Amino acid sequence: MKKTAVRRRRTDAAAQHLLSALRGCLDDRRGATAVMAAALVVPLIGAIGLSVDMGRGYLVRQRLSSAIDAGALAGGRVLDTTNVQADAIQYFRANIPTTYLDTPIPDPEVTISADRQTVSVKSSVRVPTTLIRVLGIDTLPITVENRVRRQMSGGLELALVLDVTGSMATDNRIGKLRDAATSLVNILFGNQTDTQKLWISVVPYSAEVNLGTGHGDWMTLSGPSTGAYSPSTWRGCVEARPSPYDEDDTPPMVAGFKRFLYPSTKSMNNGKGGGDNDWPTITDTGTYTNSNDRTGPNLGCGFPVLPLTNVKQDLLNKIATLQPVNRGGTMANLGLQAGWFTVSPRWQGLWGSPTPKGMPLDYGSPEMSKAIVLVTDGENSWFDHSKPPTGDYTAYGRIDEGRLGTKSFSESTSEINKRMARLCEKLKNPGVLDADGKPKPGITIYTITIGQTNANTQALYRNCASQPSYYWDTPSPDQLKSVFQSIGSQLTNLRLEQ
């Protein structure tokens, strides 16, 4: 403001000096000089005034343009919220006052496109003139407009790793998670139905992960036969692979999986049952019921993974089907690992439709980045039904099998957390080098906890994120949508178009 004021004082002083000289000419008693001066004074004042007033107009336009750009970018960052106009005006006002160089500056017009992919900010002002008023010009009209478009700058492979454990039924967390994930997909795709630049997978998890029933060739470990599920069938969940294969992206040809089957407790008490899963009477049919007392061989098994697809509607349909899955507990390390499977180049060509044979792409591929969004509403834990035996059957079997190196619930949580922490570091730094021996970029991780008060869990997810600002703890599930929208804004770029 000081520099502008100095420029204006200098310009006005020059004008006053010139006017004084002209008045001197008019006062000259010699007739020829007076006539010539009288003939020249108006156009001279107009010419000089044009320079002075146009200079002032230029300064106003310059300042107004900066404010318009700031407002448009601010509005673009919140395109999927109700704050677009307020934020655009707030940032506009932060860059220009209501009056600048004697020019009133009203609030700008803010216009949002129907597909919510662009926001336009426009301002029209009239700069009052000084000297060129002698030419009948009282004001100089100035209009400045700019538009911001949100778009992907390059390609993206993104895994949405979503908690669907039974506690997600509380306060309709699952419904708000569906809304938030839907919002993110809409942000990234915009009005496109499909695109070769954007590929997204959906990975629901509970205490197990469902890789789908179409990958029987991945089940190379000895396990239950398909007949063991009678009168039902295997739903697609798998057990955790033995360490260290539950902490990496080793493909199934090297380290296979074992079908998940929750054993029947019907044989307890001389065949009278009374355990936590008495079947073959099957009440867990795969249709959601908010109950911990269902029975069946797939008890606790959630929804299958949707591998990378570039079809927007397929993703929206998948997200819309997500429901809470009772029993088992929460084992986010396995969900995170499965998310890695969907974007790891070591799994290239393994998933089949809808993922093309050449995907996932290699790390560091031109114009293609990789990211994971990991969501949970609780700490890693092992659910224990009131009926025996102790601890549900999970991807790590029963607690008393000691597959995690302990038979303690608290110690098992600690061990899962340690494995998850190591997994996070491998995702961010996969250890793949380029031709110059430099590390290739890894996977960007965003983490979200819902209503989490456990400090250890908060620290685990904060440290898992690629940077502290990529971690959100939402005290209320109502905040999920705004968090996902923030992630969407970070994954897309805003471009000024004018």
Instruction: Establish if 358 belongs to a structural domain.
Output: yes
Task: Check whether residue 252 and residue 302 sit in a common domain.
Answer: yes
DSSP annotation string for 119-156: EEEEEEEEEEPSGGGGGT--EEEEEEEEEEEEE-SSEE
Do 86 and 169 sit in the same domain of this protein? no
pLDDT tens per residue across all 498 residues of the chain:
444 444 444 445 544 554 454 445 445 545 455 555 544 555 555 556 567 888 889 999 999 998 999 899 889 888 878 889 999 999 999 999 999 999 999 999 999 998 888 999 999 999 999 878 878 899 999 999 999 988 766 799 999 999 999 999 999 999 999 999 999 998 898 888 999 999 999 999 999 999 999 999 999 878 898 899 999 999 999 999 999 999 999 999 999 999 999 999 999 999 999 999 999 999 998 888 889 999 999 999 999 999 999 999 999 999 999 999 999 999 999 999 999 999 999 999 999 999 999 999 999 998 889 999 999 998 999 999 999 999 999 999 999 999 999 999 999 999 999 999 999 999 999 888 877 888 888 999 999 999 888 999 999 999 999 999 999 999 889 999 989 988 988 888 777 777
Assess contact for 206 and 257: CB atoms under 8 A: no
**Residue at 49 is within a domain:** yes
Query: Residue 345 contacts by C-beta under 8 Å, 6 or more apart in sequence?
Result: 360, 361, 362, 363
Q: How far apart are CA 332 and CA 423, in angstroms?
A: 11
Helix (H, G, I), strand (E, B) or coil at 398: coil
Residue 27 lies in a domain: no
Q: Is residue 394 part of a domain?
A: yes
Place of tokens 């954007």: 198
Q: 409's torsion region: left (phi>0), alpha (psi -120 to 50) or beta? A: alpha
The CATH code of the domain that includes 48 is 3.30.1300
Are residue 142 and residue 227 in the same domain, yes or no?
Answer: no
> What is residue 315's predicted lDDT score, i.e. its pLDDT?
98
For residues 464 and 331, state if they share a domain: yes
Same domain assignment for residues 407 and 348: yes
Verify that 117 and 184 share a domain, yes or no: no
**Domain boundaries, position 60:** 34-149
CB 395 within 8 A of CB 332: no
In a domain, 318, yes or no: yes
Q: Is 24 part of any domain?
A: no
Residues 179 and 233 in one domain: yes
In a shared domain, residues 340 and 242: yes
Number of domains in the chain: 2
Q: Which of 131, 149, 167 is the last residue of a domain?
A: 149
- Where a domain ends, among 134, 149, 164? 149
Same domain for 113 and 94: yes
User: Which of 111, 126, 149 is the endpoint of a domain?
Assistant: 149
Residue 210 shares a structural domain with residue 350:
yes
Count how many residues are written for the chain.
Answer: 498
349 and 419, same domain (yes or no):
yes
CATH number at residue 374: 3.40.50.410
* Residues 144, 222 within the same domain: no
